[in-house]
Chain A
Amino acid sequence: MRPAARELALYLVAAAVYIGIGIYNTNFLLSWPVAAGYLLVVAWLLPAAIRRLL
């Protein structure tokens, strides 16, 4: 899988999970800092940590 496609897939999964949690608990949808923290962890920190471990 090309890096750009892999990145897109990661964001789509992140979005699906965010939307799922948000529908279940709408408080999750109300905070910009929560969204920023979530995206930074899921799209940047977690993949970087996994790459470092492998």
Chain B
Amino acid sequence: MSWAAHDLEPYAIQKHLGLKVAFVPLLIGSYSPDLFTKWFVYGITIFGFELKADNPAQFHRGWPGVGFTHSLVFGMFVGLVLWKLVNPIWGLSFMIGQWAHSLTDVGDTVGTMLFFPWTQNIHIGAWAYAGQTGRLTDAGAYFSGLGCMWDLVFVVYGLINWRLLTRSYFRETIVQADGFWTKMARVVPQTGLLTLYRVAFFYGTCRWIAWTIWAHGIHHYGYDLTWGGPHWVDAQHPDW
């Protein structure tokens, strides 16, 4: 799993594909595998009842579970629906965003069922999956291993390519690629739309900085940038 890359990767993809993709479905696609499921991985308490998956990792990435949301076929299926119902560029953009998420999550020790309905998890195990330990330990572990370094690549990429976030880029590329923004401009001024476009970058970058300070400035979790680390956490593997 990733804590900031899913916010930031769509900006890099948009930069490379320009007018061929639309930012909003790209971002929704990038969020989609976790959008309705992550709360059940960590659990929530409603009126005194705790709702949490018995086996969070299997629920999140496996089968039986909702792991198919991290597969290429899921992105293709939803993309095709959007292609028909909205327009082709929305369908393509959603699929690319969803594929980026599914491929990024191959980096941890659980990986994804990339080729679902084949239920084998594909993983390279570069950083520890620790979602089953709860949100805070997971944060401490994630921001101590190679996962946070993968996120950092996209933070730095965004800062180097800061023009992606300017008003002129928004007007000449983001708005031109997608009629959504023109429709929104009837009710929201351009500065508001520009701010909305920047939210995911702001969120991803600030989260990266804040969790890093929280994990290492306040709680002193140990950095372990070795393959599969940090090894001080009990990493989950797809052996449920």
Contact = CB atoms under 8 A, between A and B. Distances in A.
Chain B binding surface, main DSSP class: helix
B213 A40 contact: no
Contacts, number: 62
B210 A23 contact: yes
B81 interface: no
B86 interface: no
Interface centre among A4, A44, A48 (most CB of B within 10 A): A44
Interface residues of B, number: 25
Contacts of A29: 206-207, 210-211
B195 A43 contact: yes
Contacts of B217: 23
Interface in A1-54: 4, 11, 14-15, 18-19, 22-23, 26, 29-30, 32, 35-36, 39-40, 43-45, 48
A19 B196 CA distance: 19
A39 B207 CA distance: 13
Contact of B135 (A18, A19, A30): A30
Given A18-B202, A36-B196, 6 more contacts: A18-B206, A23-B213, A29-B210, A29-B211, A35-B203, A39-B198
